[in-house]
Structure 1
Amino acid sequence: MAKPPPPLSPGVYLVATPIGNLEDITARALRVLRECDLIACEDTRHTGRLLSRLGIRKPLVSYHEHNEARRAGELAGRALSGERVAVVSDAGTPGVSDPAYRVVRAAI
């Protein structure tokens, strides 16, 4: 029998969200969303609805093209201070066509 994975370490986690079908979310994505300390997202309303359907309640922080320059350093700082920060886009994988690359750059 496989051992359960260890708890999430502090850091920034890019979490892909389903495009069109809620059942497409991965087990790892669910684990990160359940164990993280906060979730940075493009639209808190959209992500809030997704999390509600998944039965997950976490603090949400807006992170989009209009605040990315200011927010990236803040999110990276929180991760470097020991928090587990999940970054999601409205649909799909963060960093493909959204501001996620700035928080990743700030964290490394």
Structure 2
Amino acid sequence: MRYLLIATLLVLISGCASRPQGRLCDGEVASLYGKSLGKTNAWIFDQVTHFTISKQSVRIDSGLLSSTDNQRYIPSSVTAEGYYAQRLGNNRFRLINAPQNLMITWTCPAPGTE
């Protein structure tokens, strides 16, 4: 009984300490007016309250996403690099670079379907 309790505790601790799983997501590059400018992809590590986008040696962390009402407003933040980051849904993420009139919207496969 004691060993079963210890084994269960170890499984719970290791499960809670696991790193977020990244997903390779396809991205649409567009102007702020919606004109398509091309395609890209990146690894996205989603932790609900923030996400990280990684491509080659570049990593951008969204920072803590916030919204006064998640049902009415998109959770968003400004990154350390000055980009506007949005979590559009469980599988959609966006970075906006307003000075360069660019935005990238990534759509990820649903977890478990990759």
TM-score using structure 1 length: 0.26
Q: Write 1 or 2 for the structure with the bigger share of helix.
A: 1
Q: When you count strand as a share of all residues, which structure comes out higher?
A: 2
Larger RCO: Structure 1 or Structure 2 (Cα < 8 Å, ≥ 6 residues apart)? 1
Q: Larger C-alpha radius of gyration, 1 or 2?
A: 2
